[in-house]
Amino acid sequence: MVRTPQQIQDIQQKLAKIESWYHRIDLGDGIETPGHFRMADYLRFYNLPERMDGMRVLDVGASTGFFAYEFERRGALEVVGVELPSWGDHDWTPRYRREFEQKSASDKSNIDREVMRDGFTVVGEALQSKRVRRIWKAIYDLRVEELGQFDIVFSGAMLMHVRDPVLGIQRMRECCKPDGRLIVSISSIFPDSKESIAKFVGEWNQCNWWQMSPRCLEEVLQCCDFDRIEHRETYTLQDVTGKFHDPTFVCHARPRIG
Ligand SMILES: C[S@@+](CC[C@H](N)C(=O)[O-])C[C@H]1O[C@@H](n2cnc3c(N)ncnc32)[C@H](O)[C@@H]1O
């Protein structure tokens, strides 16, 4: 993709209009989105197929889109990014919800535009994306009748944000082809423990509920009709400042058939 200086400037101006970015994404020509997490540095831990030609991929909790556009770059035929319609649709703690409800309608709408919507759109335009689309839904509302089944269902760093991760995993299982796979990463605890532990972390931040040990996630996956767990990996996710550290567990789960 060859861009004119004017096109480069236009992209930079669009990026600058958005204050809040989750992902730091390389858009070429020296342009990067100014996000907190440069996930390209951690891709090796996810063990994604080098090529995804012909695949349908569901990216649940796509945020500003690093993974969705990476799947397209690897050749996926169709990528569906799932995001909440609005900031207010998170499973907030009651305390944060009370604070949030105090905000004016225009502040709320700016948050929706900046945090939930525009980043993903601007990245797609800059990359001249053709095979990625976004839908607005909570994980609980994923329905196979509407979306069909996918070769890969991906859920990166989002299950700790949902109050009912077991239901979320059940919904993702329904959308997984029998020969497909779920690739999931979680903010983990006790990565070396053999115990199945879920820790309640509702006091940690505005929208965090459960952290699981790797063993716990694997048992939840098995109870939700995944039988083979493949590719277990643990790494420490850091933001670009290096101040935020999060032990992260990644695994692939294959559906139980029959
Ligand atoms: C920490 S970000 C992770 C972004 C990306 N998946 C990654 O791994 O880099 C979590 C994303 O999940 C979304 N999310 C949170 N709760 C959700 C829910 N109940 N249903 C769908 N998405 C949700 C958030 O809006 C946010 O964009």
- Closest C-alpha to 121, from 178, 83, 148, 176: 83
Which pLDDT score is estimated for 190?
86
Half-sphere exposure of 7 (CA within 13 A, CB side): 12
Q: Is 84 in the pocket of ligand 1 (CB under 6 A)?
A: yes
Dist. CA 19–CA 35, nearest whole Å: 9
Work out whether strand 150-156 and strand 226-238 pair parallel, antiparallel, or are unpaired. Answer: unpaired
Which pLDDT score is estimated for 152?
98
CATH number of the 38-255 domain: 3.40.50.150
Per DSSP, the three-state class of 172 is helix
Neighbours of 146 (CB within 10 A): 10
Q: Are 57 and 48 in contact (CB under 8 A)?
A: no
Under the banding of pLDDT at 50, 70 and 90, the label for residue 205 is confident
For atom 8 of ligand 1, the residue with the nearest CA is 156
Q: Is the pLDDT of residue 130 over 90?
A: yes
- Tokens in use for 191? 């990565």
Q: Is the pLDDT of residue 222 over 90?
A: yes
As a whole number, mean pLDDT of residues 209-221 equals 96
Which DSSP category does 160 fall into? G
Q: Is 161 in the pocket of ligand 1 (CB under 6 A)?
A: yes
Which pLDDT score is estimated for 172?
98
Buried b (16+ CB within 10 A) or exposed e, 221-246: beebebeebeeebebebbeeeeeeeb
Mutate to test the pocket of ligand 1, among 38, 121, 158 (most ligand atoms within 8 A of CB): 158
Mutate to test the pocket of ligand 1, among 41, 48, 57, 63 (most ligand atoms within 8 A of CB): 63
- Tokens in use for 218? 């694997």
Under the banding of pLDDT at 50, 70 and 90, the label for residue 36 is very high
Which pLDDT score is estimated for 203?
77
Under the banding of pLDDT at 50, 70 and 90, the label for residue 191 is confident
Buried b (16+ CB within 10 A) or exposed e, 182-214: bbbbbbbbbeeeeeeebeeeeeeeebbbbbbbb
For atom 14 of ligand 1, the residue with the nearest CA is 61
Half-sphere exposure of 252 (CA within 13 A, CB side): 13
Q: What are the residue ranges spanned by the domains of the chain?
A: 38-255
Dist. CA 76–CA 51, nearest whole Å: 8
pLDDT in tens, 40-82: 999 999 999 999 999 999 999 999 999 999 999 999 999 999 9
Supply the mean pLDDT for the chain: 95
Dist. CA 72–CA 154, nearest whole Å: 13
**pTM beyond 0.85:** yes
Tell how far the Cα of 139 is from the centroid of ligand 1, in angstroms: 9
Per DSSP, the three-state class of 199 is strand
Tell how far the Cα of 205 is from the centroid of ligand 1, in angstroms: 15
